Amino acid sequence: MRESLQHKKRIVVKIGTSSLIYPNGNINLSGIDELAFVLTDLQNQGKEIILVSSGAIGVGMNKLNLKERPKEIPEQQAVAAVGQSELMTIYNQRFQTYSQQTAQLLLTRDIIEFPQSRENVCNTLEQLIAMGIIPIINENDTVAVDELDHLTKFGDNDQLSAIVSQLTHADLLIVLSDIDGFYSANPVSDPSAILYDEINKITPTLLSQATGKGSPYGTGGMTSKLKAAQRILSSQGQMILANGKHPKIIFDVLAGNQIGTYFFEIEEDNR
């Protein structure tokens, strides 16, 4: 089944904050450069690439020399505004090194709530792809509170990447995190934890095995990744969850190598 991954054309790549920011809070410039190289090379191969990137608050914290994530919503939004600008500057610099044009899209939940907004976003994405431009998408943290630490907290960039995959009818979603895939338990605290090679259905048992967020810079955790996978599976899509420490792993994923956890539905035999 994995050998079919090499034929996927439209690919959404989601990279988490933990892959962009070192544990000490500094920006992982080598990782961002490697990501730019990989995505540009895939684009050069004729694939259609969309990047969903977290990291605005993490980069903002670094820029403002903050050691702890702000707790109040206005503070988080201010830090995100600073960080998003800096993050896009870094992305633009690295992608331009490989002669690849990028574009920024900051989205809010209304892209799926309101048909006209959804159509406008889809049209923009399709046009950018047709022009050979890689869209870089993030939640608009300065106006949305869905993803931030708020009582009405509702989504995150794992969910956003799944939504973008659905809107663009992507062939594959690759979620790069700080873990090798989905485990039966937290591998950090449980040495007997087993890595799932493939998952075909999100069950209550799997959800109970998911852990919370592990990084002070990010918002997602294994639960959010399973929910993203559930959304992908509901639309007959496919998703890979893999470690984003070295983004060149994307090449191995698309080559069909046994990497990460592969989420896909098994077609029922109607005979």
Tell me the one-letter amino acid at 227: K
Question: Annotated binding residue at 260?
Answer: no
Question: Annotated binding residue at 157?
Answer: yes
Tokens of 145: 């509170």
Q: Identify which has the larger pLDDT, 224 or 145.
A: 224
Out of 115-119, 213-217, 250-254, 264-268, the most confident range is 250-254
Residue 58: phi and psi, rounded to 5, are -60, -45
Amino acid 176: pLDDT: 96
Give the H or E element holding residue 234.
helix 222-234
Q: What value does the mean pLDDT of the chain take?
A: 89
Question: Annotated binding residue at 14?
Answer: yes
Give the H or E element holding residue 165.
helix 157-167
Q: Where does 114-152 have alpha helices with state H?
A: 115-130
Question: Annotated binding residue at 141?
Answer: yes
Residue 154 has pLDDT above 50, yes or no: no
Lowest mean pLDDT segment, chosen from 3-17, 95-109, 213-227, 253-267: 213-227
Question: Annotated binding residue at 225?
Answer: yes
Question: Annotated binding residue at 28?
Answer: no
Which band of pLDDT confidence, cut at 50, 70 and 90, is reported for residue 220? low
Classified as helix, coil or strand, 227 is helix
Amino acid 151: pLDDT: 34
Question: Annotated binding residue at 234?
Answer: no
Question: Annotated binding residue at 200?
Answer: no
Question: Annotated binding residue at 177?
Answer: yes
The class level of CATH for 2-263 reads alpha beta
Question: Annotated binding residue at 201?
Answer: no
Q: Where does 6-156 have alpha helices with state H?
A: 17-20, 29-44, 56-63, 73-97, 110-113, 115-130
Give the H or E element holding residue 247.
none
Question: What's the whole-number mean pLDDT along residues 179-206?
Answer: 92
Question: DSSP characters for 17-45?
Answer: HHHHB-TTS-B-HHHHHHHHHHHHHHHHT
pLDDT tens profile 50-95: 999 999 999 999 999 999 999 888 899 999 999 999 999 999 999 9
Residue 144 has pLDDT above 70, yes or no: no
Question: Annotated binding residue at 140?
Answer: no
Residue 206 has pLDDT above 70, yes or no: yes
- For the chain, the structural domain boundaries read 2-263
Q: Identify which has the larger pLDDT, 142 or 124.
A: 124
Question: Annotated binding residue at 224?
Answer: yes
Question: What's the whole-number mean pLDDT along residues 220-247?
Answer: 93
